Amino acid sequence: TQLLEQSPQFLSIQEGENLTVYCNSSSVFSSLQWYRQEPGEGPVLLVTVVTGGEVKKLKRLTFQFGDARKDSSLHITAAQPGDTGLYLCAGRDSNYQLIWGAGTKLIIKP
């Protein structure tokens, strides 16, 4: 069974701080997606990364796909209360199935 491990499971920081969350696996993925889920809503896609070493930026969020396409990170600069949510990574395996991580619950305190 393929696993995607996300760390940390929970993170609570003050507004303005920087943070990084990680998504790791022993398996290779053809692509990896990051979603954010706010309370009472379904997950919403933030970004898809495809190429090993790829870096994508979405305003204050920076996503990186590992060179070997087994891991990914999400870095948030100057976190805002609006960044609060559950961050989920999902990798597409060789069978085109989407493998989900358990998520990182992020709370940004004003």
Would you count residue 31 as binding other proteins (CB under 8 A)? yes
Q: Which of 66, 101, 106, 108 binds other proteins (CB under 8 A)?
A: 101
> Minimum distance between the CB of residue 55 and other proteins, rounded to whole angstroms?
18
For other proteins (CB under 8 A), the number of binding residues is 22
**In terms of Cα–Cα distance, which of 14, 54, 36 is closest to 103?**
36
> Given the complex with other proteins, which of 26 and 97 has the nearer CB atom?
97
Tokens (6 digits) for 27? 């398996």
- Cα–Cα–Cα angle for 95, 101, 103, nearest 5°? 155
Q: Which of 15, 17, 41, 67 binds other proteins (CB under 8 A)?
A: 41
In b/e form, how buried is each residue of 15-46, taking b as 16+ CB within 10 angstroms? eeeebebbbbbeeebebbbbbbeeeeeebeeb
Enumerate binding residues for other proteins (CB under 8 A).
9, 30-31, 33, 40-45, 48, 50, 88, 90, 92, 96-98, 100-103
